[in-house]
Structure 1
Amino acid sequence: MKPGDVIGGYRVVTEPTNADGGKCVWAFAEKDGREYFLKRFLEPKRPREGSAGSAASRRIRLETCQEFEERHRTVMRLLRPDADGAGNLVLATDFFHAGSTYYKVTERIDTTGLEDARSLGPKQKAVLLRTLATSLRLLHDIDVVHGDLKPANVLVRKRESAAFHTAKLIDFDDSYLSGRPPAREDIAGDSLYGAPEWRRYVRGDESVGARDLTTAVDVFALGLMTHLYLTGSLPAYPGRYGSPADAVNAAESLAADERLGTPAQELIAAMTAADPQARPTVAAFLEALKDTGLCTLHSTPQPRPAVSVPGGRPTAGATSDEPRRSRVQFNPPDRSGHRPPAGAADDGPRRSRVRINLGLHRDGLPGHRPAP
């Protein structure tokens, strides 16, 4: 793929790049006077007629390609541009193969005016999170998992005539039906925002099967992004772990920024729970956002009620049945919005003490434990 090439009727007009492309390269293209975003998948590759390899190898490659095609076409069929509430979804308009290579097309989006959500005020953040969650709820209502929910796949912008910023959700290449993800060796995503069960699935943990990767995977990522948008960084966790999910899998709790009010801390703690079934639905998240103070940062630290970490190891001096709690002190937001440095691990002076008590909300959030 190079400038001037015509692929599937689309004329490539820029140099291809793999910046933020994962297993793809992409370029801008034109067709019938309109501009498009053209993505070329590096894998899988369809076997060509007469290509080398055994019949069995060819059959396996064809089966892999058929599964790949079916997953993409199923998601495209379910996520229709004319569906109610789909206005903030940037959906694919075409999917095809040319020779042995697969391509996907979306309309080119004007990215001027994109902003960093962390610089917005509380009311602006609440509206932004609501538009993002509304888009995600649309997916979950039809049992589609986004599969790669992270800030890079959310375009934050404000039109001149609009009062608030909105979030456009993009990149559904890694989406799948709830409980029907790609195989362990084929599934994609971002380890920083991946859920605990996704991390274990990728690593070959046989206790986690395909059926365990549900829409709750997105809820975990949304919980991390909520903390990032509200505070400027992810929840703190011991620096010896490569991601929040790795810490949660090791029975460590994530430490929320103490400037967040208790309801916000409780909500984020529930969304990032180790047990997928204990996480609230996106509908419940939207209900919680009706609390206008949820997105407010307080000038003084807010109290953290205790949270138990199922399966945790006892801390030094604790009784054998006392769960271990993370002792990570919250670090001020940095420019990256990522985890604390390695030195911020186990010897910090403060422990996370967020009690999951979302049953106090007006309509309740399913799957949560009331406070004792």
Structure 2
Amino acid sequence: MKQGDVIGGYRVTTEPTNAGGGKCIWAFAEKGGHQYFIKRFLEPKRPRDDAADSASVRIRRQLADEFEDRHRTIMNRLRPDARGGGNLVLATDFFHEGSTYYKVTERIDTSSLEKPQTLEPRHKMVLLKTLGNSLKQLHDIDVVHGDLKPLNVLVQKRDDATFHTAKLIDFDDSYIAGNPPEPDDIAGDSVYGAPEWRRYMQRDGSIGPEQLTCAVDVFALGLMTHLYLTGELPHHDRRYGSPADAVNAGEHLDLDTRLSDEMLGLLRAMTARAPRSRPRIATFLKSLSDPKVCALQHRRPGTAKATSPAAKPTPAPETAKPSGPRTSRIKTNLASTPRPRAAAPSPEPPRPAVAEDTPAPPATPPAAEGPAERTSRVRINLGDRSPRRGSS
């Protein structure tokens, strides 16, 4: 494919590129006066119809048939004219020419807001709602997006609009829940991949295809929500290559404690290791009923707490303890990247009650018996401190 070529009736108008394309190259094209985005898949290759029959040809033909069937199934379920589908950028054509497969969508403005975290809380709430509603459309028909990440979400605002919206693109790696491609054929981004997806890719025998459900997208959405609200993904120990790998190892992700209690609880549930422990998209949308949920706040030490995404907030079993702007919830992070902690004052030992006109006992054992000086009472009121270790 090169500029000027006509493929399937589409004339390629730009030089093809692989930028952000994974296992494909893409370009812009024109047909019938309309502008399109055309993608050429590098694999699989479809054997010619007249190819001599052999074991390798049969295997290649089976892989091509499965690839084609998956794409056509998703296209039949995700119709461009579906009600409420305005924020889904769906394929309009899918075909093969020779041994190569192509997919076509309408051309849209590919510019995207680079820093959603700079938006006001109400604007963040609307942005997350549009993204959540797009995913809900998929999940309602048992379709997993399969590669949810910032590159596949265009954050845009029309000139006549007040709020930014999220347009969901690239359904090439989508599949029916519980029926993903084989580990060698499945695609996605390990940074946003769910724990069960990572184990499936690694051919962990404890994970079967039936466990790759819509909860895979919920995990990725939890990470993206943290990114959109704070500008960063949740932190995790550097020994692990991705958030999912850390969660699979039994670690907790380090959520930004500037997030509201409700959001901390919601994101903790969305990034849970067990798919069934994650909330559905409907719960995510219900949680976004007040802009305050998306607001950041600076807390006093010891006041952050993660709450459940249920209707009544309740403290989560594990409480985020901020130190400065963020704290580490992962033990191993404390060893690899120490962060300062605010030292809590040592509890004072209990003191016996004394009469109002009786001098209080001194803070240290007295050298000789006798009533304490009046100044010792003042010293006690300023703070009862035991002698420092090593002091005379």
Name the structure 2 match of 1:299. 298
Q: 1:41 to 1:239 in 2, by over 3 A?
A: same
Name the structure 2 match of 1:247. 246
Alignment of 1:251-330 (within 5 A): 251-300=250-299, 303-305=303-305
Q: 1:213 to 1:331 in 2, by over 3 A?
A: farther
Residue type matched to 1:201 in 2?
Y
Q: Deviations over 1:227-247 (max 9, x none)?
A: 000001011111111000000
Name the structure 1 match of 2:9. 9
Alignment of 1:119-268 (within 5 A): 119-268=118-267
SS at match of 1:300: coil
SS at match of 2:86: helix
TM-score (norm. length: structure 1): 0.82
Deviation at 1:49, TM superposition (A): 4.8
Residue type matched to 1:2 in 2?
K
Q: Distance in 2 between matches of 1:19 and 1:328?
A: 39
Deviation at 1:74, TM superposition (A): 0.5
Q: Between Structure 1 and Structure 2, how many residues are aligned? A: 327
Q: Deviations over 1:214-269 (max 9, x none)?
A: 00000000000000000010111111110000000000000110101111111000
Would the aligned equivalents of 2:152 and 2:168 in 1 still touch at CA under 8 Å? yes
SS at match of 1:88: coil
Name the structure 1 match of 2:41. 41
Residue type matched to 1:131 in 2?
T
Q: Distance in 2 between matches of 1:109 and 1:18?
A: 18
Rg larger in structure: 2
TM-score (norm. length: structure 2): 0.78
Name the structure 2 match of 1:19. 19
Deviation at 1:348, TM superposition (A): 3.5
Deviation at 1:82, TM superposition (A): 1.4
Q: 1:203 to 1:327 in 2, by over 3 A?
A: farther
Q: Deviations over 1:25-56 (max 9, x none)?
A: 0011111111110000000001125657x611
Name the structure 1 match of 2:338. 348
Name the structure 1 match of 2:101. 102
Name the structure 1 match of 2:110. 111
SS at match of 2:122: helix
Would the aligned equivalents of 1:28 and 1:37 in 2 still touch at CA under 8 Å? yes
Residue type matched to 1:348 in 2?
P
Q: Distance in 1 between matches of 2:111 and 2:228?
A: 20
Q: Deviations over 1:330-360 (max 9, x none)?
A: 987xxxxxxx9x9876553589xxxxxxxxx
Would the aligned equivalents of 2:200 and 2:207 in 1 still touch at CA under 8 Å? yes
Name the structure 2 match of 1:70. 69
Residue type matched to 1:273 in 2?
A
Would the aligned equivalents of 1:8 and 1:98 in 2 still touch at CA under 8 Å? yes
Residue type matched to 1:176 in 2?
Y
Deviation at 1:22, TM superposition (A): 0.4
Name the structure 2 match of 1:79. 78
Residue type matched to 2:216 in 1?
V
Name the structure 1 match of 2:388. none
Q: Distance in 2 between matches of 1:169 and 1:324?
A: 33
Q: Deviations over 1:141-187 (max 9, x none)?
A: 00000000001111001111111110000000000000000001100
Q: Distance in 1 between matches of 2:162 and 2:318?
A: 45
Q: 1:130 to 1:345 in 2, by over 3 A?
A: farther
Would the aligned equivalents of 2:47 and 2:57 in 1 still touch at CA under 8 Å? yes
Q: Deviations over 1:78-113 (max 9, x none)?
A: 001111110000000000000000000001102346
SS at match of 1:104: strand
SS at match of 2:218: helix
Q: 1:198 to 1:117 in 2, by over 3 A?
A: same
Deviation at 1:300, TM superposition (A): 2.6
Q: Distance in 2 between matches of 1:305 and 1:126?
A: 21
Name the structure 2 match of 1:29. 29
**How many percent identity over aligned positions?**
63
Residue type matched to 2:8 in 1?
G
Q: Distance in 1 between matches of 2:275 and 2:261?
A: 22
Runs of 4+ in 1 over 2 A off after TM superposition: 48-52, 111-116, 299-307, 323-332, 342-351
Would the aligned equivalents of 1:93 and 1:107 in 2 still touch at CA under 8 Å? yes
Would the aligned equivalents of 1:219 and 1:281 in 2 still touch at CA under 8 Å? yes
Higher relative contact order (CA 8 A, sep 6+): 1
Q: 1:236 to 1:105 in 2, by over 3 A?
A: same
How big is the alpha-carbon RMSD for the aligned residues of Structure 1 and Structure 2? 2.6
Q: Distance in 2 between matches of 1:181 and 1:229?
A: 28
Deviation at 1:304, TM superposition (A): 4.1
SS at match of 2:167: strand
Deviation at 1:114, TM superposition (A): 4.0
Q: Distance in 2 between matches of 1:170 and 1:38?
A: 13
SS at match of 2:294: coil
Name the structure 1 match of 2:368. none
- Provide structure 2 residue ranges, at least 5 long, that are not aligned to the other structure: 308-316, 342-392
Residue type matched to 1:36 in 2?
Y
SS at match of 2:154: strand
